[in-house]
Amino acid sequence: MITLYGNDRSRATRNVWMLEELGVEYERDMVDHTKGEAKTESFLAINPGGKVPALRDGDVVMFESLAINLYLAMTYGKGGLWPDDAVGQAACVQWTVFSATEVEPHTVGALIELIFKPEAARDEAAAQACLARLPPVLNVLETTLSDLAFLGGDTFTAADLNVACVVNSLNMIGFDFTPYPKMTAWVKTCVARQG
């Protein structure tokens, strides 16, 4: 049985999305990082880094949310969310790294300063600096999605899930998506799959 550690206030939600897409059975351990539960001895045995989410699947124990999704797709989504062909697999890996390194540092940076921190500690200028880094990155998505229905081609794959879950987080801060119509339509299509 697969166990996913982390509650809905963590990046575990993106792994829930993947697990639901794959239709595999899993259980959740709602480790609440906001109450220090990710630093307990029992959880540190799962992830010594003390961060959620983490995943246990038999003798597989791992962390890093986007890596967990790639592992799950490779293992349980062959021919579906993990395409059979090298071109599709290349897209999944490339876009997942793109999401982690090009998009998420800026989205998370803005979210921290605008909503996660207590109001008195928020730094509007730091948030704006993060948001200012996004247009060239989002334009890469807009350009790609002008030619393709999904990031890897005609079908929804791990590439889409791993990028859409990060881009969609911008909705939490009322981000203006109007300069990116193709990307916006694609995010909506992807997110609607979560039901």
In the complex, the residues that contact another protein under the rule CB under 8 A are 48-49, 57-64, 66-68, 70-71, 74-75, 86-87, 89-91, 93-94, 96-98, 100-101, 104-105, 136, 140, 143-144
Place of tokens 């003390």: 50
Minimal distance in Å, beta carbon 140 to another protein?
5
Q: What angle do CA 158, 146, 68 make, to 5 degrees?
A: 15
Q: List the beta strands (DSSP E) in 38-178.
A: 54-57, 60-63
Residue closer to another protein by CB (options 10, 96) is: 96
Residue closer to another protein by CB (options 31, 51) is: 51
For residues 75-90, one letter each, b for 16 or more C-beta atoms within 10 angstroms of the residue's C-beta and e for the rest, the string is ebbeebbbbeeeebbe
Residue closer to another protein by CB (options 49, 181) is: 49
Backbone angles phi, psi at 37, to 5 degrees: -75, -10
Minimal distance in Å, beta carbon 64 to another protein?
4
Asked if 161 and 17 count as a contact pair (C-beta separation under 8 A), the reply is yes
Minimal distance in Å, beta carbon 65 to another protein?
8
Residue closer to another protein by CB (options 79, 136) is: 136
